[in-house]
Structure 1
Amino acid sequence: MASKRALAGKLSVVAGFENPQLGLEQYPTPPDLAAHVIHLADLQGDIAGRTVIDLGAGTGMLTLGAALRGPARVVGVEVDRSAIETARKNQNRVGTTTAIHWIQADGGRVPLQLSEPTTVVMNPPFGAQNGSHGADKRFLKSAAELSDVSYSIHNAGSQSFIESFAGDHGGTVTHAFEAAFEAPKQFAHQTTDRKELSTEVYRIVWST
């Protein structure tokens, strides 16, 4: 297994959004954080030989990270067609040979039915913008329906919400850790070139 640092290096070539949409909270997942999440999932046996679905795939950071760790296949679900086009270019940049299927769809309403062992990875909208309120709940509901284990990134202070939601939907939080999320300036309301967000990552095992 390649190191987490090596994985982050390979993901450093992944381009971000050309025209990010504030309503979709399109902040690119940093390569170091994506590598941390995928490396942990790999160590837990949640990547190799399995189907991995990235909900709200954006330009493909988590999708491509998973593809580099030997899954059976990866599915990137993203509602923004422009982001999918960039993700396809990123796939060529990274150079993975894993089968990747890109689906244009809302990560909270995914048109898939799967029977094989499946892992969801996602950096869902935090629900901080008008039009995105409750998006994190919809994405978690999709994860519960599609997978037997998921990894997701959320705003700091989400522990009680995540544990309550998981419990109500047959899930159990097995891992949780804090993570810095460095967001580059992309929107007019941002006053600094970069902002470090406090986030939390959760691994949830869902009953099947």
Structure 2
Amino acid sequence: MSTKRQLAQQLGVVGGFDDPTVELEQYRTPPDLAAHLVHVADLQGDIDGRTVLDLGAGTGMLALGAALRGPERAIGIDIDRGALQTARRNERRVGTTTDIGWIHADATRAPLCIDDAVVLMNPPFGAQDGNAHADRAFLKTASEVASVSYSIHNSDSQAFVDAFAGDNGGEVTRAFRAELDLDRQFEFHSENRRVVDAEVFRIEWDR
């Protein structure tokens, strides 16, 4: 098994969005954070031999990271067809031999019926006007299709995630702080790079 550092290096070739959409909050998940999340999930026994779903996969960072750690299969779902085309190119760059399926669909209405899936996701934080609590819909889908999920959220989300999990048959079993190191990609950004505080939660769902 590759180390966390080696995994981050392998994911360094994953390209970002060609034409990111503000409303979808499309940002490339940093390779270091993706590697850390996947590494933690692997240590918990949540990758090897499992079916891994990346909800809102974007250009495929989390699905590809999981694919490098030996799941039975990985599936990335995204509403943006262009992003999935980039994800397929990234799959060739990474060179994983794991079976990966890319599905063009609304991840909050995932057209899947899979037993014992594991969800890895970096949902929109709901930072844009009219998009508040966008991560709630992604958590709802995770509660319906997964036995375990890992999700990245804005900082200070612990109370919200705990409450949502409790109301939907889940329990937060692990949480850790993280940083999103984001490059400037929209005109309204005033800085070339910005570090955003975030939190990652592991939730076990009662299915």
Q: TM-score interval w.r.t. the shorter chain? A: over 0.9
Which residue of structure 2 lines up, in the alignment, with residue 57 of structure 1?
Answer: 57
- When normalised by structure 1's length, the TM-score is 0.98
2:177 aligned with 1:186, yes or no? no
Listed as ranges, the matches of 1:134-173 within 5 Å are 134-173=133-172
Which residue of structure 2 lines up, in the alignment, with residue 87 of structure 1?
Answer: 87
* Aligned-residue RMSD, C-alpha: 0.7
- Secondary structure of the corresponding residue to residue 156 of structure 2: coil
Deviations 1:81-135 (A, max 9, x none): 00000000000000001000000111111111112x2100000000111342232
**Partners of 1:17 and 1:2 in 2: CA distance:** 27
Instruction: Say how many residue pairs are matched.
Output: 207
- Secondary structure of the corresponding residue to residue 174 of structure 2: strand
Deviations 1:9-53 (A, max 9, x none): 000000000000000000110000000000000000000000000
Deviations 1:161-201 (A, max 9, x none): 00000000010001101101101100011001000000000
Unaligned runs of 5+ in 2: none
Which residue of structure 1 lines up, in the alignment, with residue 205 of structure 2?
Answer: 206
- Shift of the 164–9 alpha-carbon distance from structure 1 to 2, 3 Å rule, reads same
Percent of residue pairs bearing the same amino acid type? 58
For 1:168, the aligned partner's letter is D
For 2:83, the aligned partner's letter is A
2:32 aligned with 1:35, yes or no? no
Which residue of structure 1 lines up, in the alignment, with residue 174 of structure 2?
Answer: 175
- Secondary structure of the corresponding residue to residue 23 of structure 1: coil
Runs of 4+ in 1 over 4 A off after TM superposition: none
Q: CA deviation at 1:74?
A: 0.4
2:6 aligned with 1:6, yes or no? yes
**Partners of 1:118 and 1:94 in 2: CA distance:** 23
Listed as ranges, the matches of 1:123-134 within 5 Å are 123-134=122-133
Deviations 1:124-162 (A, max 9, x none): 000111342232010000000000000000000000000
- When normalised by structure 2's length, the TM-score is 0.99
Unaligned runs of 5+ in 1: none
**Partners of 2:63 and 2:144 in 1: CA distance:** 19
